[in-house]
Amino acid sequence: MAAADHEVVRLFREQVQPLSGKLTEMLNEHYSHQTERRGCGYTQATRVLAEHINAERKADDFQDLKLFDAADGKHLLQILAQQKLYGMQIADWRNLDLHSQIQDFLKHAPASGYQQLLGSEVRLQQRLRGLGQQAALEESNLLCGLIEDILLPKNQQQTGLTELNSLQERPKVGSCPMAENFFLKIAHRRVLRSGEINIFVDEQNQPLLLEKLNMGDNHSCISLKPVLMNGVRLPAGSLFSADYAPEAVEEKQANKEFKGFIMPYTAVSGFWFLRLTTLAVSPENRRRAFSTHFEQQVANGLYSPGSTQIQQLLDVALAQFR
């Protein structure tokens, strides 16, 4: 029923177009997604978005429209196919609403079916842009932002964020609901005796991601700051897998406190975005956002899942500098 719809589902239905059945079911927390393996529907939805986020945005690819229920690329294909008849130069169907030539055309060109079609797509993209600002809930704002960027990608210049290279193939690293287990412990300086942590730093030598080794899945890491991947802004608290050969990294220095190293993020050949962790949402909103996933963390005795913050992981990372 509409009354029970998640805020993201409602916003897209009312302002843009309805989300796919799969995403709608997940965000509305259908019981089939509230399992031990999946966590909750919200977590699952971020895994679905990850499939799109890890793929490079290509001008001739309409796969991202599958996020919507009845979307097909027919109108966009038409816009691209007929553009030369109207003296247009449109290289990509994304970000049409920011295209200065299109804006001029819509203002000054005589009315035509093409102008109508183009205007309709531009208005759709305008409604999508900044949709998250209409959300009352923090977790809705996050999700709207991810979907916006998948369809309307950003760049480093616009965002000022560090851009991560994406891997071509998914590595063998899990994203189960318990992946937070060790990151929560690390945030409270409880690192296993055999455990190691690596800190990936940006060009300013500031911590960007924290990787754990010999604690659950190796090479899984969490972002300590927002980053950019394939045009999508990913918040602090995003879960990634990193692919690189640690022994081959020459430019690294040993941590001050724990086993492991500080090294540039560019030493990593590529990252794979897995999902948002519960740490991506403020402690006060976590239970609401992640429902059964969060409850599972509490029931399994994870270390302070309801109060730990990304800042604590960042403090641990900063304490490793000599």
Q: Are residues 163 and 142 in the same domain?
A: no
List the single range of 30-34, 198-202, 294-298 with lowest mean pLDDT.
30-34
Q: Is residue 38 included in any domain, yes or no?
A: no
Q: What pLDDT does residue 172 have?
A: 76
Total tally of structural domains belonging to the chain? 2
First to last CA, the chain: 57
Q: What is the mean pLDDT of residues 72-89?
A: 93
Which of 56, 164, 33 is closest to 64 using CA atoms? 56
Give the C-alpha distances (Å, rounded to integers) separating 280 from 24, 156, 268.
21, 21, 23
Q: What pLDDT does residue 70 have?
A: 86
Q: What pLDDT does residue 45 have?
A: 97
Query: In the chain, pLDDT over 90 holds for what percent of residues?
Result: 83
Q: Are residues 235 and 303 in the same domain?
A: yes
Q: Is residue 200 included in any domain, yes or no?
A: yes
Higher pLDDT, 308 or 246: 308
List b or e across 211-233, with b for residues whose CB sees 16 or more CB atoms inside 10 angstroms.
bbbebbbbbbbbbbbbbbbbbbb
Q: What is the pLDDT of residues 259-318, one digit of tens each?
A: 999 999 999 999 999 999 999 999 999 999 999 999 999 999 999 999 999 999 999 999
Statement: residue 177 has pLDDT above 70: no
Q: Are residues 168 and 269 in the same domain?
A: yes
Q: Are residues 88 and 214 in the same domain?
A: no
Higher pLDDT, 38 or 155: 155
Statement: residue 81 has pLDDT above 70: yes
CA 118 to chain centre: 29
Of 152, 168, 191, the domain-final residue: 152
Q: Are residues 82 and 222 in the same domain?
A: no
Q: Is residue 125 included in any domain, yes or no?
A: yes
Residue ranges making up the domain that contains 195: 158-318
Q: What pLDDT does residue 2 have?
A: 45
Q: Are residues 310 and 170 in the same domain?
A: yes
Of 123, 152, 181, the domain-final residue: 152
Q: Are residues 100 and 165 in the same domain?
A: no
**What's the chain's Rg over C-alpha atoms?**
21
Q: What pLDDT does residue 245 have?
A: 86
Q: Are residues 19 and 128 in the same domain?
A: yes
Give the single-character DSSP code of 19.
B
Q: Are residues 181 and 307 in the same domain?
A: yes
Q: Is residue 39 included in any domain, yes or no?
A: no
Q: Are residues 147 and 267 in the same domain?
A: no
Statement: residue 1 has pLDDT above 70: no
Q: What pLDDT does residue 111 have?
A: 92
Which of 296, 322, 297 is closest to 308 using CA atoms? 297
Confidence of residue 176 (pLDDT cuts 50, 70, 90): low
Statement: residue 124 has pLDDT above 60: yes
Which of 51, 49, 6 is closest to 25 using CA atoms? 6
What's this model's pTM, rounded to 2 decimal places?
0.95
Q: Is residue 46 included in any domain, yes or no?
A: no
∠304-175-178 over CA atoms, to 5°? 30
Residue 62 tokens read as 């309409």
Q: What pLDDT does residue 85 have?
A: 94
Q: Are residues 143 and 166 in the same domain?
A: no
Q: What pLDDT does residue 14 have?
A: 96
Q: Are residues 137 and 281 in the same domain?
A: no
Q: What pLDDT does residue 34 have?
A: 76
Of 91, 125, 152, the domain-final residue: 152
Q: Is residue 232 included in any domain, yes or no?
A: yes
Give the C-alpha distances (Å, rounded to integers) separating 183 from 216, 285, 292.
10, 19, 19
Q: Is residue 40 included in any domain, yes or no?
A: no
Average pLDDT score, the chain? 93
